[in-house]
Amino acid sequence: MNAPHFTARRSAVYLLDQILGEGRLMSDLIASGKLDRLEPADRARAQRLANDTLRGLDRADRLLNRQLRKAPALHVHNILRLGTVELCMGGDAHGVVHELVGLLGNDRRHAKLKGLVNAVLRKMAGDAGKPWNDLRLPRLPTWLREPLVAAWGANPVNMMEKVHFAGAPLDITIKVEPEGWAEKLGGALLSTGTIRLMDAGQVSALPGFETGDWWVQDAAAALPIQVLRPQPGEKILDLCAAPGGKTLQLAAAGANVTALDLSERRMQRVTENLKRTGLEATCVVGDALEHQGFYDAVLLDAPCSATGTIRRHPDLAYAKDGSDFGELIALQARMIDHALTLLKPGGRLVYCTCSLLPDEGECQVDEALARHDGLHTDADALNLPGVDPAWITEEGGLRLRPDYWAEQGGMDGFYIACLRR
């Protein structure tokens, strides 16, 4: 049994303090073991509570501003934010208020604010929280919203924000026979072959997880390998491979896969996923720009802003500010140039990013085509089941956005292009 101070709510507040106060990413916090003292179900709940709060932060602050003369210290503010979101989304008033007020009991700095927190949250459980559903949808931060509106228009961005606020269902890639597994898992089989679960609960408790029959992977993230069309026995390099979903797809297709990533810690996760699923690949820790060899195909899932994944990772909108875009775009160009040197004659390079910014997708490929004589995009590779022809771009890439399939839960923002000489 967990000690009282390691509850899901307390851990969720800690995550909020780190994300909103220190600019840390939730994935980094979890990977560093910050939730390891919780049982699996409580770990999942802590993440869900923190993500729900981040998605609803704008609404929570609007309601709290009506009750507070001034914003309290961040830790107290985050307790109020979490409580407001949970109460307005139907949480049990007694349980929410009692535990969150109790978090301040042994806090020397903030114990005197117990009365304030108790009073405000009780109001939120009553009339003060009723306007929740009437408030505007939370918007993306200005540093991201403005370039997205410039690229795609206000209405698509409004729809993206609606999808972000709703949260993401769980998408699963199956090794074999997705039709049968859709029925076993109680999910829907999407037109691109992914199984989607709208209310999955604890992932590790689902049938087939321990036996390695599937892995979690957003529907959009599964498409680059379908574009690559790996064949049994082909020698394929997966650059920047972690966390390994695409490596697993390549291995499941029978390819001879080399998975490379700069991070030893992240590569350990790839190794663990390969072991769980019973698939094989050669795992290498190293710099993609220094790797040598010749391959039938290369997948370059390049480091990027990750702006396409905010519907699953709402912390990105608060932990980032866009200041690293220029550096990332320059790195992507260097990686494309180097990846092309690793191809055998007639080989193919699939370049992709989980970004909504054209500078990391369409523009990046346009510039690569201009730099390399004889390089062209293979538009035929994009003719896949479930892919809307309207998603294919002028330069011959595939643009995916969260507002696509909005009524089915959306998808990650991705850009994918298959390049050949």
Query: Which residues make Cβ contacts (< 8 Å) with residue 311, sequence separation at least 6?
Result: 160, 163, 164, 166, 167, 168, 402, 410, 412
CA distance 207 to 203: 9
User: Sign of the CA dihedral 81, 315, 1, 169?
Assistant: positive
Residues 6+ apart with CB under 8 A from 14: 34
Pairing of strands 414-420, 398-400: antiparallel
237: helix, coil or strand?
A: strand
Contact 243/273 with Cβ under 8 angstroms?
A: yes
**Catalytic-role residue among 240, 354, 363, 418:** 354
**For residues 73 and 15, is the Cβ–Cβ distance under 8 A?**
no
Structure tokens at 368: 């690569």
> In the 3-class helix/strand/coil scheme, how is 246-280 assigned residue by residue?
HHHHHHHCCCEEEEEECCHHHHHHHHHHHHHHCCC
304 noted as active-site residue: no
Contact 400, 415 (CB under 8 A): yes
The alpha carbons of the chain give a radius of gyration, in whole angstroms, of 23
Count the residues in the chain: 421
Residue-wise DSSP of 6-45: S-HHHHHHHHHHHHHHH---HHHHHHTTTTTTS-HHHHHH
In this structure, are residues 168 and 409 in contact, taking their beta carbons and an 8 Å threshold?
yes
Q: Choose among 134, 137, 144: nearest CA to 161.
A: 137
- Residue ranges of alpha helices (H) inside 38-153 are 40-55, 57-65, 74-88, 93-102, 114-125, 142-152
Structure tokens at 225: 């390998």
Task: Tell me how far apart the alpha carbons of residues 175 and 173 are, in angstroms, rounded to a whole number.
Answer: 7
Q: Which residues are catalytic?
A: 354
